[in-house]
Every structure is written in structure tokens, then in C-alpha cells.
Copies of this chain bind each other. A is one copy, B any other.
Amino acid sequence: MNILITAGGTSEKIDNVRSITNHSTGRLGKTIAETFLAQGHLVTYVTTPQAVRPAKQPELNILEIETTKELETTLLEQFAQTAFDSIIHSMAVSDFTTETTLSEETFIDQLSEKIGTLGDLNDTRQLKEHIQISLDEMGETVQDQKKIPSKTDRLLLFLKKNPKIIAMLREKQPQAILVGFKLLVGVSEAELIQVGRSILAKNQCDFILANDLETIQGEQHKGILINALGQTQTAQTKAEIAQLIVNKVEEKWRNQ
């Protein structure tokens, strides 16, 4: 099979020396890639600079990205060339990218000036609309900031929503067996499964691997694989998760 795996975590630049990073060691993605490679499959592996990765080998093609935007571009290039048999989307993708950064002083000046021109502020509904319009204008103003200002006691960072990569995968690769990932923090198993099922349905995945940061510790890594019928199977280590995903993807591929 021809497999695409995403792994690691994206970063979004704040300025030339700072960024917002989604933590992911890439270790689970690496183990999944190695397990597919050991079965003789071809792997295209999209990862990030800080993440660990499988050793170079002929059946492995590694591509590196940093931001969610770069991930989108790289995936669209791949999808224009290749119809993958399966996509394993384990990368931790930033939901938000940086829009603008303002010192508190600039923020207050701009906000008061903008909402001050908009009419009667003593009406709550109007006031909310005025703040909304002002935030939109401030957020969309391109800042020429190579390095954000440090001479203020408080900064306000505007973050705007990134495109949802997982939603694009099924749209562009309808033939692929699609495995999505959902990481939550400190929830019950019932909630983890419920959120996993809803994401599977929403993004038309074949499987979702749902996991909780609080049950990950080195190789120990509890993962619940949910299929399109909502059925679950649980693995306790990264190696077990990788083997479970490879088995399920191979089985589905043989039966289709």
C-alpha cells in the first residue's frame, strides 16, 4: 500500500524569534511508520523539525513542514500527484495562527478610538457589535513587527482559526482509508470515546485514535481506536497502537 503519515507538531510564528508550538515528540507517528515499513508498504512521512523520525530507507519519503499553512500546501501537492491507499494523520496541528500582536497601550488606544466613533456605547448590544468590528479591524491590520515590542507590561496576541486539515483529507482523497487522531486532556473514557466518534463522523474518517495526554508516559500510551461503526479497541503502548492501526488498515484494504 501507499501510505501517507503526518507526525510531529506544527508551529506558528509570532515574530522572527518566537513562535507558538504544538508539542508532539512524533514518537507515535515514527512507530506507526516503522510498523508499516516493516510490512513492506511505501510511506510518505510529513513531519516537523523538532520531531523524531524513522531512519532513512528506500521505501520512505520524508517531507518537512513548520506551519499549518505549509502542511496544507505540502499535502495538496502530494494529493495532486498521488492517490494514497491510506492516510494516518497523527500530527498535532495548530488550530490557530497568529494574526497580530499589540501592546496593551496600543490596544486601548485603537479600541477606544474605533468604538468611540461608532455611536452610543451605553447600549449593550451596540457596544458588543462595536467591539466586534474593532477587533476585526485590529486583527486584520498587518503589523510590521520583526520582533514584537518588549516595552509594555501586557501584550495582546490575536490568533485566528487555521483551515481544518482533517476536513480536507477526505475531500481530496475519497479513496483513502483515513485514520484521524484526537488528543484530549484529563477527560473520562466515556467522553474521550464520545468526542472521538463525533470527530470521526464529522470528518468522514474510517478510524479515530482517541487518546488523553494524562495517560501518556513514555512508551506507555493508552489509545482507543474507534471504527466507523463506533466500535472501540484499546491499546496500552505506542507499539500496540501502531500494530493495531496497521492491522485494521490492512484488513480494511483487503476487504474493499
Interface residues of A (CB under 8 A from B): 11, 14-23, 50, 92, 94-96, 99, 104, 107-109, 111-113, 115-116, 120-122, 124, 127-128, 131-132, 135, 139, 146-147, 150, 152-161, 183-186, 213
Contacts and interface: CB of A to CB of B under 8 A. Distances in A.
A127 B135 contact: no
Given A19-B21, A19-B23, A122-B121, A112 B131 contact: yes
A11 B92 CA distance: 18
A236 to B, nearest CB: 21
A23 B19 CA distance: 8
Contact of A161 (B14, B154, B157): B154
Nearest to A120: B122
A112 B96 contact: no
A213 B131 CA distance: 37
Contacts of A111: 131
A163 B108 CA distance: 23
A20 B15 CA distance: 11
Contacts of A121: 115, 121-122, 127
A183 B17 contact: yes
Oligomeric state, in copies: 2
A146 B184 CA distance: 9
A160 B150 contact: no
B128 A112 contact: yes
B154 A135 contact: yes
A91 to B, nearest CB: 12
Given A23-B17, A158-B156, A185-B17, A116 B124 contact: yes
B132 A127 contact: no
Contact of A154 (B139, B183, B185): B139
Contacts of A50: 50
